[in-house]
Structure 1
């Protein structure tokens, strides 16, 4: 359009007390005051584009989004190779790194310690970037830098409207029943145990988690176990409880005993795993030599290729590393920190509870050695050429 004025998306205006009456809403129409017309049609001050709203130095870069912040720090400013261990965004650790940078990529809803401040002209999100080494000797001085993202609150009204565009078509969504996921006890040969089972204290227990259709493999989805914990009651909120799987597919109890691990199977709609039987410390005071337990699991459907949000990671005691059951070990890098949540369409927050079982701690009993038909992942098949790169290889080829 010829002669059209190009106006900014927003303009910060601080009217004086004399002008506040001009902005009060009224039923009747009235002319726009001259001072306001001058503000709206005059030459506004230069305002940086939102895409350029990046706090940047030679070493630290901050990029602000509406729902997250990205911080990138050059590794070259540190003298220690393990500096990332002591670098925190509030309370959150480094969650990605490569040969040149450390990254802290976090949603503003994450419990890192973000401070929200609402001011008349803008909203502010601030948080401290801290480096506080706790090693016996330090080669870099500690520091704390306050980072801040500002979001302007005042906009021209004629740039805020939405103009929906209607499109035809029908969207179908398959509804799954509440019992779409299940978990069952099995023996060492992979056969389901129909009734209640009694295990000898310290011996392995076998379980199988099943997806919506246990009998049919999906071409593009696979079942994953997000977390599992054991209680002495059918109520999953009861105490005490002991977590065996957590962090979206990390067998954390595997760091305690080699009997706790994910096991290979022949179907994408099931996931097998074993847990070393145990009792709660307070349970030894009971007059009965047998104690009843339940396992509660949260499961989801995810992609066939494991990701950091959908995985099955075992702890390898020989190499002190996390290994993914199907070989993509880099997705297990977050098992000792915080793994990202799965996409809402893939995750199911429903807790599935197993049938009960009992643990006999009256005596060690007899145990018959059985060769299971499904095997755990063999960590010796993976070779890391440079042992000094242990902390970095997790991020290779893991987009």
Structure 2
């Protein structure tokens, strides 16, 4: 029965289409091969009432098709974007920042030296000097080859705070870094930092220098050190290549001596031999003694005895070579000679002055190992306290291993 009804509905649909096609009031589509009978501009337009009736007839036909189930309703929808599954790392640990060692502080007798690496955070990104200050004081100098910024100021400057305890004087400073935005932008890829620095001095003892090597930490850091800057004296071979294994010399020999200062996590330093005294015992207060270098770096042995003793031209700031002509104490009770020297170090970039020099006497004039002979002008008198140096200096007293000097065997005649 349902099959017969479906056939009847299909026949009725075909008949309705044929009636609509045979109706002269409906415009038929032209054949693709036929030419229009007249131009579109010449074809008469149907009346408005006739157009409305035609639209109603077509709407009725479509409604009838939908009601009879011959045309399926529109069910299309926009496709949904599929979700992309991502793999999550297993066992991931957040990397924590490592505290870099990028700040070094050295406390002098009357001034403080603070050195800051431009790679302050240890990330490879260099900070700008204009964003760094020590208690409001700007950067004093820079070693762009080593990428180090330096502050050199007196202890009472840069907003320092002095505290006194029963045994110590403590000067406290604050090193501040404020990041600046990139030029032409309002962004910055660095964080700020506040680093505390202290210099400790003994109140009841004579302390020439203290060295502070603090560790940087974000926003707060405070370290105090009591290490003394290491100086050394060595006996060297004739070509200055190796340390001499023997301390035996003969009269007339030249004793090659190397004075040096160790440079660790700070900028270049220049070493000076402030004074040297020879004695027959380790105690320089026991007579007899003989002054070799005095007056803040004047090698007076050549001036007093006409020897060939003197400083060699200084090619490295942290190393100083000098030669001493071997001698003996007359009527000495001990076979050995002890040499004790006071060494000094300042910033290599600081100019030499009357208290920081290495002067040798030759002919009738004084020469400086650095080439600046003007600083030797006071060697014939007394070098006063005036100085153009920065005031930052370190001292150390160093002794050589005892020297044994003998006479050469006399030549006999046959």
TM, length-normalised to structure 2: 0.42
Higher relative contact order (CA 8 A, sep 6+): 1
Report the structure number with the largest CA radius of gyration: 2
**TM-score relative to the length of structure 1:** 0.43
